[in-house]
Structure 1
Amino acid sequence: MAQEFLKGTILSTVAGLSTVLGAIPLLLFHKHLGEKVIDSLMGMAAGIMLAASAFSLAGPSLEIGGVFRFTIGFLLGAVLVDLMDKYSPHEHFLKGHEGADVKKLSKIWLFVIAITIHNFPEGMAVGISGYTPEALNVAIAIGTQNIPEGAATMVALMNAGYSTPFSLLVTFLTGVVEVIGGVFGAGLILISKKLLSYMLAFAAGAMVFVVSDEVIPETHLRGNERLSTYFLILGFLIMSALDVVLG
């Protein structure tokens, strides 16, 4: 159990901090990264997350615990993220303000809250998967989608007028959120392995909700919906193939 906890923690750290990989090139080239590129990359990230949710989280959950436990965990994951998204004050650079109206918080902190709501379950998914043979698959999926997500975050912050060092710091912290989520998820299973089926399904439900409610709509706000959809299909195909190759 301790070995699996360590594996989940390490993989969630690597996957989470891959946000910086997407941010670093933008220190020089962010002005040349167009909206079509961002939407394409985010569309591909959505496809990768959907495939990982289906094959590396939902599938193992069904095999381990059956339909009943999977259904409970999956619905709980989706509903909890929905409630957090609905009632927590947060800001999207394209969609604007959501949740409670808290005037005392600046937009940057509202943006950080938004990232926390979405990235924490992703980190949990990697940490929890450390107890399954699909751990590497989930880590690759989350890490891969974090690269364009990091790029999009960096661009949004810099375009909003924040300095390059501060934008890079916030992008880095979005990855740290996933690390914390990974340690939390792996820790829960360390306490009781009976939770594994529920938590795999929980992570799958949370990720599917995030993709449908946030990632896909964000890629459809600037007239690039068809392009981003094809990249979503590409991302799904890539992750499906990786799932087979990695076993």
Structure 2
Amino acid sequence: MGENIVLTGSLASLLAGLATAVGALPVLFTKNIKESVLDAMLGFAAGVMLAATSFSLILPAIEKGGGGAKGAAITAGGVMLGGIFLDYIDKMLPHFHTIAGMEGKESSLKKIWLFIIAITIHNFPEGLAVGVGFGGGDYKNGLSLAIGIGLQNMPEGLAVALSLLREDYKPSKAFFIALLTGLVEPIGGIIGAALVQVAEPILPWALAFAAGAMLFVISDEIIPETHSRGYQRLATYGVLLGFVIMMFLDTTLG
């Protein structure tokens, strides 16, 4: 049973990661995508992540942690640990954002590798969330998480590919790199599902940890990027739309 859960979580996180490539497909045909459209789509991705974090990670973490004050305390601790972990990784690994520029330690790596590291830092907690979701044996919760992560990966894949086009990469290469960035998610999926199987009592901590890591990404990266080009109102409506769609999916599937 445990092996099946780990395999299912890994495959689900792989499919969610491959949605990054689906989102990047338009760059093979055009690069004339308005920034307003991209910001609205990224806002949608942030809204999906927020709802997935709330309904598929935090609420189950409270329940699995025993409910009440005990469950809330465990969840609060896990959320903070997840955010602190992402903050540490963000500071330690050299990486490059198209808006924020260079972050982390200094490095002589080419900009493209620094960019890929940034996306990897971003995508790992998403795969972890899917893996943990399945690792608890709740297939419906894992499925809703995988669908949600897949939905939000599409606009992110497009943003990655467009950023590479602006760095003078060929469309085919930009698409291929966007595909590769999504493939880090199955790694997080395997780790998340396996950890929960090995030590089931860590499930509420793992759910909350993944939630904290995703909240850090939303606040530190996605939302600031959508507010950097003057289309923050469109991005805000994108957040609202993404949130309610993911809330509906989680309610009907979970």
Question: Per the shorter chain, which TM-score range?
Answer: over 0.9
Q: Deviations over 1:118-172 (max 9, x none)?
A: 1011110011101224111110110000000001101110111112232122111
Give the stretch that moved more between structures: 35-44 or 156-165: 156-165
Alignment TM-score, normalising by the size of structure 1 = 0.96
Unmatched segments (≥5 aa) in structure 2:
66-70
**Letter matched to residue 141 of structure 1:** G
Separation (CA, whole Å) in 1 of partners of 2:94 and 2:32: 32
Percent identity, aligned pairs only, is 49
Unmatched segments (≥5 aa) in structure 1:
none
Q: Does 1:123 align with 2:145?
A: no
Could you tell me how far 1:94 is from its partner in structure 2?
1.6
Q: Deviations over 1:81-107 (max 9, x none)?
A: 0111122211011221111121x1111
Q: Counterpart in 2 of 1:209?
A: 216
SS of match in other structure, 2:209 = helix
Q: CA RMSD in A?
A: 1.1
Equivalent in 151, 157, 166 of residue 150 of structure 1: 157
Q: Does 1:7 align with 2:8?
A: yes
Separation (CA, whole Å) in 1 of partners of 2:24 and 2:237: 24
Could you tell me how far 1:32 is from its partner in structure 2?
2.2
Q: Deviations over 1:168-192 (max 9, x none)?
A: 2211111111111111111111211
Could you tell me how far 1:21 is from its partner in structure 2?
0.5
- Aligned 1:30-179 pairs, distance under 5 A: 31-65=31-65, 66-102=71-107, 104-130=108-134, 131=136, 132=138, 133-179=140-186
Q: Counterpart in 2 of 1:182?
A: 189
Could you tell me how far 1:76 is from its partner in structure 2?
0.6
- Mapped contact 2:27–2:175 kept (Cα < 8 A): no
Alignment TM-score, normalising by the size of structure 2 = 0.94
Separation (CA, whole Å) in 2 of partners of 1:55 and 1:151: 26
Q: Does 1:28 align with 2:33?
A: no
Separation (CA, whole Å) in 1 of partners of 2:246 and 2:75: 22
